[in-house]
Amino acid sequence: MLRLWMDVMRHLEPVMADYPRLFDAWEAGGVDGLVIGPMAFEDKSFTFDPNPEVYARFGLPPPQPDDSSLWWRPPARPGGTAAPAGSVASVAEKRARLAGTLQGAKERGWQVWLFCPHYGAGPGARGPLLVDDAARAVVAARLVDCMEQYPMADGAVLDGPEWGYEIAPFHQNHRSSIFSDLPLEVAEGAERLGYRYSRLVAAKDRLFDRLHHLSDRDLRIWGAGEGGFLGTFGLLGNDPALAEWLAFRMDSLCETYQRLRELVQQHARRPIRLAAGPRSGAWAPLCGYDFSRLQQSLDVLLPKHYFWHRGFDGMYGTVARYVQTLTEWSPGLSERGALQFVTALFGLDLPGIASLRDFDRGFPQEFFDRIVTRETDRALAAVDDPQRICPWIDAGRKPHDGEPFTPHDLDRLLTAAEGAGLCRFLYHHHGNLTPGEWAVISAHAGRPWQTTTSPRPTLDPDAAREELPGYYPPDLPIL
């Protein structure tokens, strides 16, 4: 039977205020682990004060509170409503509640992981994390500080860093754009790893140009998705420097995770396990992930089993953006030709998809039987123990701002992944959980839950507990 970890990524306070009841319900549904964070409350206050002694071990100054430096801001209460006067707990009270919540999960025998415990890292970086060892030390110091503040936590979950994988123009200023990945700040790190920075940039620019001059005739010449490595390499221009750029992405990313592990092991006063969420197998190499090398640095891999259309990070949406962008860039390329290009590059021959229109027809059963099964198998093949694979799964009404991924889709996803050998997954995140999803999840992982009559609970952590009988998924309209 599948098991799952529950992700609490936003609105920590309602969970802290009612965790015994929530944990009872989650445990009955198959939850045996908790992933929680970033470690900040709704009012933007941190959940702990820095311990200067930790940073001294790294030769770094401790971070100073500064809201302007926060890379993630906890959202306000739903609807923008303020809490009742005098009802909000003090920071000290909230911190105590959080510690009690984590301890309560641990006492159930659950694994407890902190999400992005490096959140709030201080100064000292000289360049991008993917190439700068000073930046890695800064991140590792904050991670160790956070983990030592919560001794009941087993490990840290990192969400990146990674190189981009999108080509759509509106991603040019976003972390996902492959054509924004080589700023001048990367040069020193690239040279240190043995790569000539100017050569990588030139290869990136030639690829950008090549993607503006594709045609259906090119796909026929190079065998489209059936030409293997040699055909695809020819389709991309037979550019040896392009291969170097892809190799640099893998070398730099794998080195980053290895150095973070070394720094944590060197300076932490207790064992800290590390996990990270790479893209699923199809996208992983472009982002720099080499599963076989990555598993040497990480205790758990959490590949993103994200498949929705539109929004961001979903497989259908990303492939569709490639198709639309390529056909806009290259007038001689049809939608079918663009799909063949995606198949050649990523090995993604999506069943039932022959045009952009087909993405809005939903997922045929063959998608789960073949694509989901393969993506799961690729991750499992990288590790010596299936317990070390725990894919992120998001679904519901608006996953990552995408189109709905229905309970039926979720059921088929879990069935296919379990059939491939999956033992556990991570649900992202509890605030978005719908009743239909919880019914499906609990049927796969625990005691089946089912109701169509219970009222939705309030999210107000200061509400009287009698307003929250039983358990009903929050189903909140947030990402």
Q: Label each residue of 56-80 as H, E or C.
A: HHCCCCCCCCCHHHCCCCCCCCHHH
**Number of separate domains in the chain:** 1
What b-and-e string marks burial along 59-98, b requiring 16 or more CB atoms within 10 Å of the CB? Answer: ebebbeeeeeeeeeebeeeeeeeeeeeeebbeeeebbebb
Beta bridge partners of 112: 34
Whether the predicted model's global pTM rises above the 0.75 cut: yes
Can you read off the two tokens belonging to residue 78?
């739903």
CATH number of the domain encompassing residue 457: 3.20.20.80
- Whether 370 is in a domain gets the answer yes
- Whether 302 is in a domain gets the answer yes
- Whether 472 is in a domain gets the answer no
C-alpha torsion 41→45→48→53, nearest 10: 150
Q: Rounded to an integer, what distance in angstroms lies between the CA atom of residue 109 and that of residue 242?
A: 48
Closest to 381 measured CA to CA, from 292, 299, 306: 292
Q: Rounded to an integer, what distance in angstroms lies between the CA atom of residue 220 and that of residue 216?
A: 6
- Whether 430 is in a domain gets the answer yes
| Structural domain span for residue 215 | 3-467
- Whether 360 is in a domain gets the answer yes
C-alpha torsion 149→150→151→152, nearest 10: 170
Q: Strand locations in 53-196, DSSP E?
A: 111-115, 155-158
Which DSSP state fits 177? Answer: B
- Whether 479 is in a domain gets the answer no
- Whether 320 is in a domain gets the answer yes
pLDDT values of the chain reduced to their tens digit, one per residue, 479 residues: 899 999 999 789 999 999 999 999 999 999 999 999 999 998 888 999 999 999 999 999 999 865 434 434 444 444 444 444 334 578 899 999 999 999 999 999 999 999 999 999 999 999 999 999 999 999 999 999 999 999 999 999 999 899 999 999 876 556 689 999 999 999 999 999 999 999 999 999 999 999 999 999 999 999 877 888 999 999 999 999 999 999 999 999 999 999 999 999 999 999 999 999 999 999 999 999 999 999 999 999 999 999 999 999 999 999 999 999 999 999 999 999 999 999 999 999 999 999 999 999 999 999 999 999 999 999 999 999 999 999 999 999 999 999 999 999 999 999 999 999 999 999 999 999 999 999 999 999 999 998 866 656 655 555 544 444 578 999 876 54
Can you read off the two tokens belonging to residue 69?
């430096």
- Are 279 and 287 a contacting pair, CB within 8 Å? yes
- Whether 329 is in a domain gets the answer yes
